[in-house]
Structure 1
Amino acid sequence: MRKMYKMAFGTLVVGSSILVGTLWNFQVSGASTTPGTADDPVVTKSYVDQQIQKALNGGGGTTTPTNPTTPTNPTTPTQPSQGSDEVKNVALKPGKILIADAGAEFIVRSGNAVIYTEDSNGVADLTDGKDLLNGQAAPKNHLLSFPREGRGIQVKEGQKNGLIVMVRGGYTIK
């Protein structure tokens, strides 16, 4: 008999909870805007296309594109400004060394590279989480971090083709 009362009481609690939940109409804060109002406008495809065309034609922004005033010479090494987040693809020929500025990052994309350092410390391979020392192979598609100047990579000895390296930060070719 006691089990029957417990079962009836449980059914009553669950049933009343479901009833209250379905009848209780509440609104979540932040969802009070209705589509199509000034707070939540409906945008048509033609409007978006028009805004894209405006931006492409130069009417979408307040900045104007500028051209560099100094011509770049392809034989001189490129050196991005410090703190630049721009990624450049650099081709390195055999016999050349790509020296990183402090804080630069390299990713070897093609070719066989080895680490070059002027001291006994190495280069951080952030992909594998280890240090690579002078003369060790630099794995392809691994993010290499150069904490100090004077460290870099070079083409592996005996390789006829050069390297393609993605570089973020400053560098010099020597």
Structure 2
Amino acid sequence: MKKQAFRLTVAVICIGAAVWVGTRWSSEAEDSVVPGSVNDPVVTKSYIDKKLAELGNQSGSGGQGVDEKKLQEMLDAFRSELEQSGGGSQQVVVVTVPVGKRLIAKDGAEFIVRAGKAMAYSADSNGISDLTDGKDIKNGKAVPNDHLILFPRGGRGVTAQVGQKSGLTVLVRGEYEIQVQP
């Protein structure tokens, strides 16, 4: 009987502690997010309203209207800030890699091999990141078609497998260069 009472007491204490910890963590998480901050980068309607009100007050109209020139300057500044931070979208380019050459990625580039049989190229012991399978492809190993390959650091790439008659067709997002294989 004493054993059962002890187990029940321990269970009630554990559940109570878990509930208390859960409520403390959730309330701390809610307090730490400030709209428009780095932790909450989504632009909300209230943010736009606030910026438009500031812009209206600066134009001397007492908030009754917005100067179109000032609004255009604000939009241009926002666009340039996005481009500098890498927030602008990069286009995907179709690249044909001839046999005997390799496609080398710059920092942050992404590849998808669409046609041909590709092999990974890396000048060091590190491989390339296959995000589709979640694994590292080492130098000289086959790169599967239709898999998203990420290059966080440049200098690595893909090349056509030995004995292949035609080159590779690769979708590329980001900067790259084509090099002649030694």
Q: TM-score normalised to the size of structure 2?
A: 0.50
Q: 2:145 is matched with which residue? A: 140
**Counterpart pick for 2:170 among 140, 160, 165:** 165
Specify every segment of 5 or more residues in structure 2 that has no aligned partner in the other structure, as ranges.
Answer: 1-71, 73-84
* Counterpart position of 2:107: 102
Summarize deviations over 1:79-126 as a string: whole Å, max 9, x none: xxx956110000000000100001100000000000000000011000
Task: Report Cα offsets for 1:20-74 as digits up to 9, x if no partner.
Answer: xxxxxxxxxxxxxxxxxxxxxxxxxxxxxxxxxxxxxxxxxx9xxxxxxxxxxxx
Please give the root-mean-square deviation of Cα atoms over the aligned residues, in Å. Answer: 1.6
Q: Which has the larger radius of gyration?
A: 1
2:176 partner amino acid: Y
In 2, the alpha carbon distance for the partners of 1:136 and 1:102 equals: 21
Q: Does 1:151 align with 2:159?
A: no
**Aligned residues: percent identity?**
56
Aligned to 2:97: 92
Where in structure 1 do 4 or more consecutive aligned residues deviate above 6 Å?
none
Letter in 1 for 2:96: A
* Structure 1 Cα separation of the partners of residues 97 and 175 of structure 2: 15
More helix by share: 2
Residues paired across the two proteins, number: 94
Q: State the one-letter code of the partner of 2:130.
A: D
Structure with more contact order per residue of length (Cα contacts < 8 Å, sep ≥ 6): 1
Structure 1 gap segments, 5+ residues each: 1-61, 63-81
* Aligned-partner Cα distance in 2 for 1:161–1:142: 20
Counterpart residue identity of residue 89, structure 1: V
